[in-house]
Each structure stands twice: as C-alpha cells, then as structure tokens.
Amino acid sequence: MRYDEFVAEVRELGEYQDNREAAQVTEEVLAVLATRLPDESVDKLAAQLPDPLGAELREAGQPGAHAFGTEEFCRRVAERTGSREDTARHDAGAVLTAVAENVSGGELNQLLSHLPSGYAPLFGRAGLA
C-alpha cells in the first residue's frame, strides 16, 4: 500500500476534513504506539507500513516498551494532538483500524500479543477483547 492510500483510508475511517488532518493524526497515533511496543515489534510493523510512516515509527520508538493501558494511550494521543480524550480514542481507532487492515495477519497477531486485550477494539477487533 502506498502512503497516500493509507492516509486516504484513515481519512475515510476517521471522517477527517482532508488528507493533511488524517496524516497528522496518523503520525501522532503511531508515535504513541511506538513507545508502547518492544523494539522488534516496532521494526516489524514499520517494515509493513508505507514510508514515510515506517521511518517515522522507527524514529518514535524508544528502547524498551512502556507499559500502559488504553486510557493512558488515548491521553497521550490527546496530548500530542491537542484534542480531548474521547476525540483521541476516535483518532486512535481510525489509525489503528487502518493498520490492522493493511498489515499481514501474522504481524497483527504479533502486535496484539504485546498489548493488553483492551487494545483490540482500537484495532477494529472488538471480538478479541
């Protein structure tokens, strides 16, 4: 998938006004996700995302994963985007659902295995919660 196609999918899922807004939200959500995942998962996910998203994900990653739940995840997204937490939850859902739809099933399973079950709905996988 190309970058513009990924951003267009996020735009549609999140019902954003334009691709610029969708791209900004995508970058911020992925940056928070990168801090939550172990380094090897960041690298594997980045390899399946179109550049520049893959490169930005790698840059945002930090040595060692930080353990936090979905409430903290959304709080961090809200802080980065300057939005309210309920808006940040919507933003996270749009971006992470696009991720889930565009990475291999094996990569998605591996990704979700590093996160508590409460994250599954953000990836559009409520049945796994």
Count: domains in the chain: 1
Residue range of the domain that includes 103: 3-128
Identify whether the C-beta of residue 27 lies closer than 8 Å to the C-beta of residue 55. Answer: no
State the Cα–Cα distance between residues 117 and 31, nearest whole angstrom: 20
Confidence of residue 128 (pLDDT cuts 50, 70, 90): low
Comparing C-alpha atoms, which of 62, 30, 44 is closest to residue 111?
44
* pTM value > 0.85: yes
The CATH number for 14's domain is 1.10.490.110
- What lies within 8 Å, CB to CB, of 67 at 6+ separation is 36
Identify whether the C-beta of residue 95 lies closer than 8 Å to the C-beta of residue 67. Answer: no
What is the largest distance, in Å, between two alpha-carbon atoms of the chain? Answer: 36
pLDDT tens profile 47-62: 999 999 999 999 998 7
Arithmetic mean of pLDDT over the chain: 93
- Does the pLDDT of residue 67 top 60, yes or no? yes
Q: Please give the average per-residue pLDDT across 13-42, as a whole number.
A: 96
